[in-house]
A and B are shown apart, each in its own frame.
Chain A
Amino acid sequence: QKEVEQNSGPLSVPEGAIASLNCTYSDRGSQSFFWYRQYSGKSPELIMFIYSNGDKEDGRFTAQLNKASQYVSLLIRDSQPSDSATYLCAVRQDNAGNMLTFGGGTRLMVKP
C-alpha cells in the first residue's frame, strides 16, 4: 500500500516564527509532491509543488524534497495567524495522470 505519513498535530507556533511541516512517503516511484492548505470547512488550496530534490522557495513558503530519504517538508517563515489551517501533503507517480495520494494532514496553529 502506498502511504503518505504526516504528524496530525496540532503544531503550535508563535506568530512570526518558522513552522516546519514534515511528510514521508513509502512509494519510491513518487515523482511529484504537493502541499495543500485547507481551512476548516473549505476545500484544499495548492500552495507549493516540487518535483526535484532540493529546496523551492515561494514567498514565505519553502518546500524541501529529499527523494533518497523519501521525505518532503514545508517551511513557513514569519508565520501568521491566518496560516492556521490543516496542511496536506500529496504525492504523485509519473505516468499516473493526476492521481494524488494524500497524507492525513498536519493541523497548524499560529498563536498571536
Chain B
Amino acid sequence: KAGVTQTPRYLIKTRGQQVTLSCSPISGHRSVSWYQQTPGQGLQFLFEYFSETQRNKGNFPGRFSGRQFSNSRSEMNVSTLELGDSALYLCASSTWTDGVSTEAFFGQGTRLTVV
C-alpha cells in the first residue's frame, strides 16, 4: 500500500512569490492535515480537510490556504512568501472508523526555502 506522497520534495522561492504544495493521501484515506515544522516553533497544525471541506484551521495568517479534491488529494498554497515561511511542510492522512479519526501518517514533506 503506497504511503502519503508529497510533491515537490524541495522548493526554493523568492520573497513575495507564491507556492503550491501537493499531497496525495494513503489510498482510502479521506482526511488530510497539513503541518509546518521549523526549528524554533516545532510542528504546528495548519489545517485539515475531510471530504473536500476544511474541518479545522490552525493559527496561521490568511496567506496560508488549502483545498481538497474529490479524490482526496490536497494542495496548500502560500501567497506573498516571507523569509519566515521557510520550513518543512508536512502532510498527514488518516481515515475514520466508527465516527472517530484514526491515526495520522505523514508524508516525506516538502522543504521550502524562501530567499
Q: Name A residues whose Cβ lies closer than 8 Å to a Cβ of B.
A: 34, 36, 42-46, 49, 88, 90, 92, 94, 96-105
Contacts and interface: CB of A to CB of B under 8 A. Distances in A.
A74 to B, nearest CB: 15
Interface residues of B, number: 25
B45 interface: yes
B50 A97 contact: yes
Determine which residue in A42, A92, A97, A103 has the highest number of CB atoms from chain B within 10 A of its CB, and name it. Answer: A97
A43 B106 contact: yes
B104 A100 contact: yes
Nearest to A31: B100
Contact of A99 (B56, B100, B105, B108): B56
A97 B43 contact: no
Given A44-B90, A88-B43, A99 B106 contact: no
Interface in B37-77: 42-45, 48, 50, 55-56, 58
